[in-house]
Amino acid sequence: MTTTRPDPDLGLPDTDLPDTGPAAVRERDETDPLAGFRSRFAPVPEGLVFLNGASLGRLPAATADATDALVRGEWGARLAEARTQWLDLPQRVGDELARTVLGARPGEVVASDCTSVNLYKLGAAALRDRPGAVVLDDDNFPTDQYVLTGLAEEYGREARVVRTDPDRGPQPEEVRQAVAGGAALVSLSLVSHRSGALADLRGIQEAAHAAGALVLWDLSHAVGAVPLELTADGVDLAVGSTYKHLCGGPGAPALLYVREDLQARLTQPVQGWYGHREQLAMRHAFHPDPGIRRFLTGSPPVLSLAALLPALRLLGEAGTDRIRAKSTALTGLFQRLAAELLEPHGFRLAGPPDPARRGGHLTYTHPRARKLVPLFAERAGVLVDYAAHDRVRVSPAPLSTRFADVHEAVHRMHRVLKEEGA
């Protein structure tokens, strides 16, 4: 996968910040081309620094108005007559996802269900399409492992588990060895939820395709954090959550992507009226829609879909290249400050040291991580995340986080460590 390099003609921020002093940090904020987006989010409570965007993105200020307009103006005022204008909402939101953050064509994406359900649907569709094993890795998100091993058992297939270095992520050569002898499906996360490691999308796909396998990517920690070009990169299948870097809100419906030329040949296992080619005709026999709608099942979560749109408009306006450039600058600043202030107290960077090889978050190990994360919140007002196996996950959201916030957060965390004698 290619990574964005700063380009002055596009107004991209320079990712290099050699001086980490307060004055240099303030100057960076003053020249940040994305600084204006910060005011378009609901404010963080006074005294808190939010560095946990990989868990649940911040609330866009326009979201409350958008959902209120739907509840009062459409549902409240138009009653049951409003329901017909929501029939194609999963596709309309899907097309917006395709355009703004996925690099996909119209008609290749829908927003529906949750990531786990969509993973099951597309994994089953791949196994129905071709013979062979299911390949996954042991560093994938736990629900992915549960779903994929369950699918292998359900369809009588072998589940081959790649042993992955959690700080590097899955490697093409490891996948090449795992698919030797044939495979039906390879399913991995593009960005590791634990370390933030960014996988080699093209290299892994090349290895999988050579063995006849389809590749199903989980984009939950990638979408909105790194530029994606699903169509240009020849991605087969993808799913992903929309409540992290896409700021879709709690329980936001997940994305589901199927490359255009695969849609007519793949059948998903949870057939429902929303996937019927004549949805409102109420036929007794199921005939799947020829396009992306065949992967839908039942009535969509309309309020949650409406809540996702304001965030997508913000992301589309900002541009994923600029978001990515600022993201690498923010995590790079945290990394340099942490080397000076946190690592002497037992913090160790877990994951690629090069910000270009990470997603939108970085991770540190510490033997007391489980205890420290709530202490950072209670004593210092710094909101980061605890990840399994004694890891602290840090994810500054580029549209709503200042460089000064990162600077302040590391110094506050340092004070807590000194108090704790860690």
CA atoms within 13 A on the CB side of 103: 18
Q: What is the pLDDT of residue 3?
A: 37
For residue 294, indicate whether it is catalytic: no
Beta strands in 219-274 (DSSP E): 237-240, 254-258
The structure's pTM equals 0.93
**Catalytic residue status for 65:** no
Could you tell me what percent of the chain has a pLDDT over 70?
Answer: 95
User: Is residue 218 annotated as a catalytic residue, yes or no?
Assistant: yes
pLDDT tier for residue 114 given thresholds of 50, 70 and 90: very high
> Is pLDDT at 57 greater than 90 in this prediction?
yes
What class, spelled out in words, does domain 8-61+319-420 have in CATH? alpha beta
**Residue 226's pLDDT is what?**
97
Give the model's pLDDT for residue 166: 84
Query: What is the pLDDT, as a whole number, of residue 335?
Result: 97
Does the pLDDT of residue 47 top 50, yes or no? Answer: yes
Q: Is a pLDDT exceeding 60 seen at residue 332?
A: yes
Q: What is the per-residue pLDDT for 421?
A: 84
pLDDT (tens digit per residue) in 281-291: 888 899 999 99
Mean per-residue pLDDT, 388-411:
96
Note if 141 is an active site residue: yes
Residue from 137, 167, 200, 218 carrying the catalytic annotation: 218
Integer Cα distance of 201 and 289 in angstroms? 30
Distances (CA, A) of 398 to 152, 266, 330: 39, 37, 8
Catalytic site residue from 243, 257, 274, 364: 243
- Domain extents for the chain? 8-61+319-420, 64-316
Angstrom distance (rounded) from CA 89 to CA 109:
12
- Kindly indicate the confidence band of residue 8, based on its pLDDT and cuts at 50, 70 and 90: very low
Give me the pLDDT at residue 1, please: 41
- For residue 156, name the pLDDT band (cuts at 50, 70, 90): very high
* Paired strand residues for 32: none
Q: How confident is the model at residue 20 (pLDDT cuts 50, 70, 90)?
A: confident
Predicted confidence band of residue 4 (pLDDT cuts 50, 70, 90): very low
Q: What pLDDT score was predicted for residue 410?
A: 98
Q: What are the C-alpha distances in Å from 247 to residues 232, 296, 399? A: 25, 23, 11
Kind plus residue range of the DSSP H or E element containing 187: strand 183-189
The pLDDT value recorded for residue 17 is: 59
The neighbour count for residue 393, using CB atoms within 10 Å, is 25
Confidence of residue 342 (pLDDT cuts 50, 70, 90): very high
| Residue 231 CB coordination number (10 Å) | 16
Average pLDDT over residues 337-366: 96
Catalytic residue of the set 121, 244, 357, 402: 244
In this predicted structure, the answer to whether residue 7 has a pLDDT above a threshold of 80 is no
In this predicted structure, the answer to whether residue 370 has a pLDDT above a threshold of 80 is yes
Q: What is the mean pLDDT of residues 184-207?
A: 97
In the block, tokens 């992967």 appear at: 295
The pLDDT tens digits for 238-258 are: 999 999 999 999 999 999 999
Query: CB count, 10 Å around CB of 39?
Result: 9
Reported as half-sphere exposure (CB side, CA atoms, 13 A), residue 216 has a value of 31
**What was the pLDDT predicted at 155?**
97
- Tell which residue, 7, 24, 52, has the closest CA to residue 409: 52
Closest CA to 222 of 252, 200, 205, 206: 200
Query: Is residue 12 predicted with pLDDT exceeding 60?
Result: no
Topology classification of domain 64-316 = Aspartate Aminotransferase; domain 2 (3.40.640)
> What one-letter code names the amino acid at 113?
D
Q: Out of 50, 120, 141, 347, which one is annotated catalytic? A: 141
Helix axes 115-129, 142-154, angle to 10 degrees: 30
Write the pLDDT tens digit of every residue in 208-223. 999 999 999 999 999 9
- Please tell me the predicted confidence (pLDDT) of residue 186: 98
* Confidence check: pLDDT of 376 > 60: yes
- Percent of the chain at pLDDT > 90 equals 87
Residue 11 has pLDDT above 80, yes or no: no
Give the pLDDT confidence of 173-192 residue by residue, as tens digits. 999 999 998 999 999 999 99
- pLDDT band for position 22 (50/70/90)? confident
Q: What is the mean pLDDT of the chain?
A: 93
Q: Is the per-residue pLDDT at 36 higher than 60?
A: yes
pLDDT, residue 16, reads 57
pLDDT at 197: 96
| Residue among 28, 393, 402, 403 flagged as catalytic | 393
Instruction: Indicate if 50 belongs to the active site.
Output: no
